[in-house]
Every structure is written in C-alpha cells, then in structure tokens.
Amino acid sequence: MKTLQDALNYLNPDDDAQWTGNGLPLVEAVNAIWPEQVTRKQITEAAPNFNRDLLRDMKAAEEGEPVNVSDEDETQVTAPEASGDAAGEAKPADDEPEAVEIALTPYEECLALQKESEEKMNGLSQQISRLNSELRGEQLRHVNICVQRDRHKPRDMHGVNIRNYLNKQHETRMKKAIRQREILKVTSPSELDPRSPLDKRIGSKRNVRPLMNKTG
C-alpha cells in the first residue's frame, strides 16, 4: 500500500464493523491497516467520494459482476456528451464533490476537546502572566512610596510624638473644664454641698451661750 486510497480499497464493504451508519469508513478500521495514524479529515481529503457503496461497486467490477449505476452516476457520465452551450457549461464531477456528513469518533471528539482545553489553558496562562507583571509593577511602586516616606520623615520624631501627646492632653483638659462649667450653670450651691441633710441641719444651728447677769 503506497497511498491512503490503497488502504481504503482493502476494507471489506460487507463488514459492518468497518463502516459508520452513513457508509463512511471507520477511522479505527483504517488505522488498523494503515501504518500511520490518520483522522477523518485526512481520509476525506484523500478520497472525497469514497464510501461503502462505491467500494462494493469497485469490488463487483473487479469480479466481473454487473455494477448498479444510479441516476446520479448516469448524469455525471452522460453530461460531457451534451452538445452546444449545455456541453460548455457542464462541469466535471471532480469539481463538485458530494457533501459528506463527517461523523466524529470518540477518539476524534477527545482530540477536539483536548485542543479546546489547551487553548483555554493558554489564554489563562497569558492572563496570569499579565497579572504577575502588574503585581511586580505595583510592588515597585509601593517600595518607592516607602522610600519617599522615610526621606520626608521628621528627624526628631521623638519630640514630635511628645508634642502630639501634650496637645492631646491639653485638649482633653479643656473639654473637661467646659463640661464642668456647664454643670455649674444649672446647679445650685446647695446641691453642691457634700454634707448629708442631718449635718446641714446641725450646722445651721448656732450655739448661743446664755448671757450671765453681772453682779456688782
């Protein structure tokens, strides 16, 4: 076998295990007799019109049996004999290949899914590379900002912290004094007396000593 067409001719048209439901050769059957692994696309390109019925007719012709010619085949054979404009407009059968429905095998479907997965992984890898590049750029920017911060940092940082603490304490004392003044405005002096009511009554009484008559 020199060509893929020769390998196709070795198939058995009477063996259902070598053909699809559409009459096309199974890829596994072709790979079993052809030394290289081929795909459905390669088989179609090598023999566009090849099918089970065509191989059966070829086998019958080799054995001297009559070949069943369909109306479509008769049209293709008699078309070149037409005269006049019809003959000039007729196109060879090879220029108009029949539309063949290609049924993918499970292996070919897996190959297609594998290709799709690889393309998706490549796209994700490109996105990851772009994000890593942006991350490195942002890290460099962060380092530069920290350097600029340290460069503009006050030298006497301890003194600055002390001043901030004193200012905060002064602000707290001022707020406390304001609250106390507000309380004194609405409070009477008696309410501010820390003594108990009993102590207040006792303290309000004056100890008066009786006057003693002086005798001569």
> In the chain, pLDDT over 70 holds for what percent of residues?
70
Q: Give 82's pLDDT tier (boundaries 50, 70, 90).
A: very low
Q: Which two tokens stand for residue 176?
A: 């406390």
Taking only the tens place, the pLDDT of each residue in 37-54 is 889 888 888 888 889 888
64 and 129 assigned to the same domain = no
Q: Tell me if 196 is assigned to some domain.
A: no
Give per-residue pLDDT as tens, 115-136: 889 899 999 999 999 999 999 9
Task: Please name which of 70, 42, 37, 44 lies closest in space to residue 56, comparing C-alpha atoms.
Answer: 70
Q: Which residues contact 101 (CB under 8 A, 6 or more apart)?
A: 22
Give the DSSP per-residue string, 53-66: HHHHHHHHHHTTPP
In this prediction, residue 55 carries a pLDDT of 87
The pTM (predicted TM-score) of the whole model is: 0.31
- Per residue in 147-202, pLDDT tens? 888 887 766 677 778 888 999 999 999 999 998 888 888 777 666 667 777 777 77
Average pLDDT of span 88-97: 50
72 and 26 within one domain: yes
Nearest CA-CA partner of 43 in 24, 23, 20? 24
Q: Tell me: do 10 and 75 sit in the same domain.
A: yes
> Is the pLDDT at 65 greater than 60, yes or no?
no
Contact 31, 38 (CB under 8 A): yes
- Domain hosting 124: range is 105-150
Domain annotation covers residue 174? no
Q: Are residues 72 and 111 in the same domain?
A: no
Structure confidence at residue 75 (pLDDT): 40
pLDDT for 1 equals 61
Do residue 24 and residue 93 come from a single domain?
A: yes
- Residue 54 and residue 31 in one domain: yes
